[in-house]
């Protein structure tokens, strides 16, 4: 199969990724690779199991959602060849392809790589796609364009050894201004641009937030730095990732996010540990090339013929709600409302043609599952609208109450509890038909997730819902948890929503009407969240409680949206956080692969990478030995300490260096600058350690099969 993929057109990194995916897919299919190990691997390559059997969801990794017209066409073509002819835009500014046969994932990756895109680290326990305000670079309120900083960070951490085997995923966002349109407060790392005057000169930097997150337990991010100079941005994140990798939870998946680590040890201790890692970093400062993301060529200035639009009111509404003048005077940004983030391949190609004709070649995916076209000239607006409207992309009300965000829910996700897309369409209909004035309301947003994991970001919305269920006797009733009061306030302050009440899904439109009517009748010129806080959650619980009476359920209310029969809850095993691998022999093999990786890095004078790979080999080797003694393994630091207790102090293992402190021995990695002599010495120590672990394991398996496969 590889001979037919034209890999000679690709760079070496992409080629290696594609060959590895093809080979391991074949090994899995032939039974030579364990399914759990393969699942762990494929997730980090963007290949994610979906609700339907024998097909995958393929997730791309598109930093800050930036696409060219040609890249959009490539995605459309790949979807036609290997998927269902649809593109799904996500709240993480990615594009997902669904219903992909496993073997076709490699072919998709080839097409992506040829177009300058990737699926590497789009899923799994990695640094996920880095998001940013879709208006970065054109935002009239921004101090400077954050796009080059996002691109630099994306390139720096892609395939970086420090973030290949973490306990959980890491999410990062850059806002374009203090209005925080990127929701930095719900991320592991959030960056807001600032300019500070130092000695009479402007200095660029960022307000840095850490350890936020949504999910079952939403926690707002902490301010780590009010101002961090731009050159310190990547070193700070690298040091923080090393701390998370070493101290973060690994056994209890639901507690393995950075937010729980900081909650456990405190922000001050976390930042002290981050500072302690700085000596071991490859770069003490990392200057950002501000020209890394070039402004696309502007559309030619040319006369356009008069056009007669069939619906002038719709065009007028669209101009008010979907178009704004950029900071570059005379140019306009056009925001496209993409219903549920779904775009057919045919429409994607037609949209690409419109971009080439009327806009700069720079499309941005938005966090509410839409698109932004940039640098449109004023005289082209009616022509562009006409083309967009023909594609169903000319709806007014972008990012308004009528622009509901929803994850795929039970359509494709194994974790989905209820149909989030069906109820999203119902609520959009309610707003458009009964509250048309809310097409212009951008400070009251509705978001829906099919489960509590918050892919639809319901906890960051003014009115939110997540999938759940209720019991009536022996019947399971599809339900949604109602949450209120989240989102970014007009002043840029981030708020997390509060849970109010669970209601049957069929009664959610009525619940929305109650909340909106109450707000419009009783608010005193207040923003919704102000009104919610003044009334408090008990007020809204009492308002909605009559809808929770299950004794009055009608037969049709036992069906979820889109269903024609009684609801049956079916929740699969999600893959959002990767998997744990606890087979001793396999883990020893993983440790050896880290030693091999360290050797390759060392041969290329990549000393920091070699050291970290060797460090990881120490940890994984120690984990394998502990599991052989049935000692449960958790954090990296816990593994090192437990190995000291259960092997070194018992006399079962002696370090070649004669040291008595295994923890100190391994953590030399953050006590030395990453230079050739230390990297060489440290790798040799890791190699010797692992060989002793293999011999130790063989001794434990007397009268059993010796692990010849894991010999050095």
**pLDDT of amino acid 413:** 83
**pLDDT of amino acid 561:** 85
- Top-confidence range, 297-311, 365-379, 685-699: 365-379
**pLDDT of amino acid 575:** 57
User: What percent of the chain clears pLDDT 90, i.e. is strictly above it?
Assistant: 80
**pLDDT of amino acid 712:** 36
Which candidate, 269, 195, 199, 200, places its Cα nearest to that of 228? 195
Domains and CATH numbers, the chain: 1-117 (3.90.480.20), 405-558 (3.30.413.10), 584-710 (1.20.120.330)
Q: How far apart are CA 430 and CA 434, in angstroms?
A: 6
**pLDDT of amino acid 454:** 85
**pLDDT of amino acid 632:** 84
Q: How many residues does the chain have?
A: 712
* 569 exposure class (CB count in 10 Å sphere: 0-12, 13-18, 19+): middle
What average pLDDT does the chain have? 92
Lowest-confidence range among 71-80, 417-426, 654-663?
A: 654-663
User: φ and ψ at 508, to 5 degrees?
Assistant: -65, -40
The tens digit of pLDDT for each residue in 307-362 reads: 999 999 999 999 999 999 999 999 999 999 999 999 999 999 999 999 999 999 99
**pLDDT of amino acid 574:** 52
- Top-confidence range, 62-71, 250-259, 464-473: 62-71
What integer is the mean pLDDT of 288-313? Answer: 93
Residue bearing the bigger pLDDT, 613 or 590: 613
**pLDDT of amino acid 569:** 60
CB 165 within 8 A of CB 116: no
What integer is the mean pLDDT of 551-556? Answer: 88
**pLDDT confidence bin for 708, thresholds 50/70/90:** very low
What integer is the mean pLDDT of 86-113? Answer: 96
What integer is the mean pLDDT of 472-488? Answer: 92
Structure tokens at 643: 């190995």
**pLDDT confidence bin for 703, thresholds 50/70/90:** very low
The tens digit of pLDDT for each residue in 216-230 reads: 899 999 999 999 999
Which candidate, 243, 230, 155, places its Cα nearest to that of 193? 230
Structure tokens at 260: 């729980």
CB atoms near residue 132 (< 10 Å): 30
Structure tokens at 444: 């009251």
What integer is the mean pLDDT of 421-439? Answer: 95
Check whether 709 has a pLDDT greater than 80: no
The tens digit of pLDDT for each residue in 191-212 reads: 999 999 999 999 999 999 999 9
């Amino acid at each position: 199969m590889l001979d037919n993929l034209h890999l000679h057109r690709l760079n070496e990194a992409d080629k290696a990724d594609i060959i590895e995916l093809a080979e391991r897919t074949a090994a899995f299919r032939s039974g030579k690779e364990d399914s759990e190990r393969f699942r762990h691997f494929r997730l980090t390559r963007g290949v994610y199991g979906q609700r339907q059997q024998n097909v995958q969801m393929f997730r791309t990794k598109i930093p800050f959602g930036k696409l060219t017209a040609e890249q959009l066409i490539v995605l459309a073509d790949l979807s036609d060849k290997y998927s269902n002819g649809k593109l799904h835009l996500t709240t993480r500014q990615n594009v997902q392809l669904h219903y992909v046969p496993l073997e076709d994932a490699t072919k998709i990756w080839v097409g992506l790589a040829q177009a300058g895109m990737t699926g590497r680290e789009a899923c799994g326990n990695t640094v996920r796609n880095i998001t940013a305000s879709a208006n970065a670079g054109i935002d009239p309120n921004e101090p400077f364009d954050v796009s080059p900083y996002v691109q630099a960070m994306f390139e720096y951490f892609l395939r970086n050894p420090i973030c290949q085997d973490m306990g959980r995923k890491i999410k990062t966002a850059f806002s374009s201004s203090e209005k925080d349109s990127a929701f930095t407060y719900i991320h592991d790392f959030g960056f807001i641009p600032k300019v500070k005057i130092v000695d009479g000169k402007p200095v660029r930097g960022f307000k840095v937030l850490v350890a936020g997150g949504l999910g079952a337990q939403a926690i707002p991010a902490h301010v780590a730095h009010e101002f961090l100079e731009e050159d310190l941005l990547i070193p700070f994140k690298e040091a923080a990732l090393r701390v998370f990798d070493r101290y973060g939870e690994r056994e209890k998946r639901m507690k393995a996010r950075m937010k729980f680590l900081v909650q456990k040890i405190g922000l001050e201790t976390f930042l002290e540990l981050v500072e302690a890692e700085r000596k071991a970093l490859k770069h003490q400062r990392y200057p950002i090339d501000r020209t890394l993301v070039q402004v696309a060529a502007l559309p030619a200035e040319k006369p356009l013929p008069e056009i007669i639009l069939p619906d002038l009111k719709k065009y007028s509404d669209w101009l008010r709600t979907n178009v704004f003048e950029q900071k570059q005077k005379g140019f306009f940004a056009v925001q496209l409302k993409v219903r549920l983030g779904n775009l057919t391949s045919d429409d994607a190609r037609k949209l690409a043609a419109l971009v080439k004709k009327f806009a700069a070649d720079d499309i941005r995916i938005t966090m509410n599952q839409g698109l932004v076209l940039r640098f449109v000239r004023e005289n082209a607006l009616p022509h562009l609208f006409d083309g967009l409207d023909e594609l169903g992309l000319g709806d007014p009300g972008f990012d308004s109450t009528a622009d509901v965000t929803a994850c795929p829910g039970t359509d494709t996700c194994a974790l989905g509890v209820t149909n989030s897309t069906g109820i999203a369409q119902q609520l959009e209909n309610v707003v458009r038909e009964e509250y048309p004035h809310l097409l212009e309301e951008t400070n009251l947003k509705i978001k829906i997730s099919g489960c509590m994991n918050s892919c639809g970001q319901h906890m960051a919305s003014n009115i939110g819902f997540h999938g759940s269920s209720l019991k009536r006797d022996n019947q399971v009733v599809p339900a949604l948890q109602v949450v209120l009061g989240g989102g970014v306030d007009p002043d840029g302050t981030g708020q997390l929503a509060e849970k109010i009440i669970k209601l049957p899904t069929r009664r959610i439109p009525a619940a929305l009407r109650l909340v909106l009517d109450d707000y419009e009748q009783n608010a005193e010129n207040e923003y919704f969240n102000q009104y919610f806080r003044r009334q408090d959650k008990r007020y809204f619980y009492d308002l909605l409680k009559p809808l929770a009476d299950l004794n009055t359920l009608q037969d049709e209310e036992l069906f979820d949206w889109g269903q024609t029969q009684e609801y049956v809850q079916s929740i699969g095993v999600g893959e959002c956080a990767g998997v744990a691998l606890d087979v001793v022999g396999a883990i020893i093999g993983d440790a050896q692969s880290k030693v091999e990786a360290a050797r390759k890095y060392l041969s290329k004078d990549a000393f920091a990478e070699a050291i970290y790979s060797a460090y990881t080999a120490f940890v994984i080797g120690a984990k394998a030995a502990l599991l052989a003694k049935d000692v449960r393994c958790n954090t990296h630091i816990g593994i090192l300490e437990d190995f000291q207790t259960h092997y070194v102090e018992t006399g079962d293992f002696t370090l070649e260096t004669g040291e008595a402190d295994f923890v100190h021995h391994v953590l030399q990695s953050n006590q030395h600058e990453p230079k050739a002599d230390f990297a060489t010495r440290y790798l040799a120590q890791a190699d010797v350690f692992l060989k002793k672990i293999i011999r130790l394991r063989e001794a434990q398996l007397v009268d059993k099969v010796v692990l010849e496969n894991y010999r050095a």
